[in-house]
Amino acid sequence: MNKPYTAVPSFAGSTIIAGATLAFAAALALQPAYAADASNGKVLADSHNCAACHGPGLNKPVSPEYPKLAGQHADYIYWALRQYQMGSGNPHLGRNNPIMQAQVQSLSQSDMKDLAAYIESLKGDLIDKK
């Protein structure tokens, strides 16, 4: 005896999945892209007092264990902030630093992108080795 779900031809399931995938892709394409706002990033950096640890211009840390941020790639900064926000619950994704975790908890993903754009726009001492 055939069960009801096996009576459907095998290509019908793949057609439904392909249609759902196409609808999802179309929905994503219709969403406006978010352009990071470096000026809002500056406001956020000032309000979160990033310079207290990372120094003036986020380029002269007050202690060697704090990184220079100015000029760092925005995608790296965004991902680092996101990892601090995720915390140490997942050792493969999160970063464990209580100060940074507290700093980023109130930030939205667009806030973190704005911060990252601002930090990337700063003149820094970082160099690319070739």
Residue 42 confidence (pLDDT): 97
Q: 6-41 pLDDT, tens per residue? A: 555 555 555 666 666 666 666 555 555 678 999 999
How many C-beta neighbours within 10 Å does residue 44 have?
18
The CA angle 103-86-122, to the nearest 5 degrees, is 50
114: CATH: 1.10.760.10
Please report whether residue 74 resides in a domain: yes
Q: 66-86 pLDDT, tens per residue? A: 999 999 999 999 999 999 998
Please report whether residue 89 resides in a domain: yes
Q: How far is CA 112 from the centre of its chain?
A: 6
d(CA 109, CA 44): 13
Number of domains in the chain: 1
Residue 58 confidence (pLDDT): 96
Note the helical H segments in the chain.
10-30, 38-47, 51-54, 74-86, 98-104, 109-121
Residue 67 confidence (pLDDT): 93
Query: What is the extent of the structural domain holding 102?
Result: 38-121
